[in-house]
Amino acid sequence: MAKFVLIGSGLAGGLLAAYLGRRGHEVDLYERRADPREGNIVGGRSINLAISTRGIHALEQIGIADEALRHAIPMRGRMIHDKSGALHFSPYDVDPRKCINSIGRAALNTTVIEAAQRYPSVRVYFTHRCTDVDLDSAAAHFETVNGAVTARGDAIIGVDGAFSAVRKSMQRDIANFQYDESYLAHGYKELTIPPALDGSWQMEKNVLHIWPRKSFMMIALPNPDGSFTCTLFWEFEGPRSFTTTKTDDDVRRFFEEEFPDAVPLMPTLLEDFRNNQTGSLVTIRCAPWFYRDKVCLVGDAAHAVVPFYGQGMNAAFEDCVVLDECLQKVPHNRQRAFAEYFRRRKENADALADLAIGNFIEMRDKTASKTFRAIQKLDHALESALPGVYLPLYTMVTFTRMPYAMAAKRARVQDRIVYMGLIAFLTLAIVAFAVLVQAHLTPTKP
């Protein structure tokens, strides 16, 4: 059995440690933060996330889906809030049982770490910040409160998120390492809608709320304690933006203009806006994701995507499933296993990155339009009429485990067929109409 040194015990790090531990590998998992069970917010990002089929499948494989989903809140569709306060519900799928689930990041992180620690060959070390990796000797260097430490293994796995230290070492030491990062012009800020006085939810609980406002939007996901975590996605710069909205009056005016129905539910809006940091949204693409049989990247370290398809963590969990399968398939050739994992995941991660950016435009701009809602209804009607043949893109991405690249391709083909079908239908209708008019106008013989 091999010894793996994992850097980062975030969502994917904990889960991967459990997968490797289950196979009997030695696993040393190092995390720069303190133990999340001691009250730290893990990951430093969204408080809650949406988990769907791919992520749930990865948890099921290790037997922890029920435990992880115990406090998750199913969300059946999008609840669109327009400026007048009117609400429009749009289900995610024709099958009302198909839901995405709002789950707390910290609780999920604890669940995966505890799952890993159930295997005796897994050890977890907190407050160890990786500073550098020596690729050839599979040695990782850390800063700790007691000074510098070095860990060695047969292989190092970088599960240390979008700003991965492992990936930085690969960038430095691998000739022709490809790296691309691109930031959106938008940032995000988390805000809160607290529970009502009786502890209940102040808005419909089992939906994902969206306030689409063309170039920006706010969303809200429910939490088990009766609150909602809202996220405002807004331009960093511009006449109305994070940069220009400085005073409490600016903030209040902006929210009253844009989200009037939410303001009365947000008593801590001004403090939240002032105190919560504004995060940036990055897409990272790199290649290769491995170095010989010594180093490999998993999750955001390999492929950070913007959060608009709710798939970053789901994809990171899917990486764990695929890497485990590859290591099982060629147990005595880790380099081949890493190469196979990279081959299976790279084009799908790239496809997801594009889908996620596309979905930002859909969520913030199109969901508000009647045409979009009509198209969605047509999508669902076709799905009902042609079960298993026609699948909306959202359904393929969220409720199946079809590779992302295949889902994107299939959606393009479906769109073309539907478009051609509509043109053929309209042409036939026009011809039939013309024939009828002609017949009507032709004088009958006496």
Ligand X SMILES: Cc1cc2nc3c(=O)[nH]c(=O)nc-3n(C[C@H](O)[C@H](O)[C@H](O)COP(=O)(O)OP(=O)(O)OC[C@H]3O[C@@H](n4cnc5c(N)ncnc54)[C@H](O)[C@@H]3O)c2cc1C
Count of positions on this chain that bind ligand X (CB under 6 A): 36
Pair 142, 134: CB distance under 8 Å? no
Closest CA to 326 of 316, 315, 340: 340
C-alpha–C-alpha distance, residues 289 and 271, integer Å: 41
Site for ligand X in 1-20 (CB under 6 A): 7-13
Q: Does 414 bind ligand X (CB under 6 A)?
A: no
Q: Does 391 bind ligand X (CB under 6 A)?
A: no
Q: Which of 169, 227, 283, 311 binds ligand X (CB under 6 A)?
A: 311
Which is nearer to ligand X, 49 or 391 (by Cβ)?
Answer: 49
The site map against ligand X for 171-200 (x = CB under 6 A) is: -----------------x------------
Which is nearer to ligand X, 165 or 382 (by Cβ)?
Answer: 165
Quote the Cα angle for 395-399-403, to 5°.
Answer: 85
Q: Which of 56, 313, 356, 363 binds ligand X (CB under 6 A)?
A: 313
Burial of 127 (0-12, 13-18, 19+ CB in 10 A): middle
Site for ligand X in 105-144 (CB under 6 A): 129-130
Q: Does 50 bind ligand X (CB under 6 A)?
A: yes
Kindly state the smallest distance separating residue 188's Cβ from ligand X, in Å: 5
Pair 30, 140: CB distance under 8 Å? yes
Q: Does 32 bind ligand X (CB under 6 A)?
A: yes
The site map against ligand X for 212-251 (x = CB under 6 A) is: -------------------x--------------------
> What amino acid is encoded at 323 in this protein?
L
Tokens representing 298 are: 């998993």
Pairing of strands 3-7, 26-30: parallel
Q: Does 338 bind ligand X (CB under 6 A)?
A: no
DSSP state of 292: T
Sequence-distant (6+) residues with CB within 8 A of 57 are: 318, 321, 401
Q: Which of 170, 207, 219, 316 binds ligand X (CB under 6 A)?
A: 316
Among the residue ranges 24-32, 60-68, 238-246, 388-396, the one whose residues contact ligand X (CB under 6 A): 24-32
Pair 303, 352: CB distance under 8 Å? yes
Q: Which of 122, 159, 207, 355 binds ligand X (CB under 6 A)?
A: 159
Q: Which of 28, 93, 258, 300 binds ligand X (CB under 6 A)?
A: 300
Sheet holding 139-144, edge to edge: 129-134, 139-144, 147-152
Closest CA to 291 of 442, 156, 101: 156
C-alpha–C-alpha distance, residues 387 and 399, integer Å: 14
Q: Does 307 bind ligand X (CB under 6 A)?
A: yes
List contacts with ligand X (CB under 6 A).
7-13, 30-33, 42-43, 45-46, 49-50, 129-130, 159-161, 165, 188, 231, 279, 299-301, 307, 310-314, 316
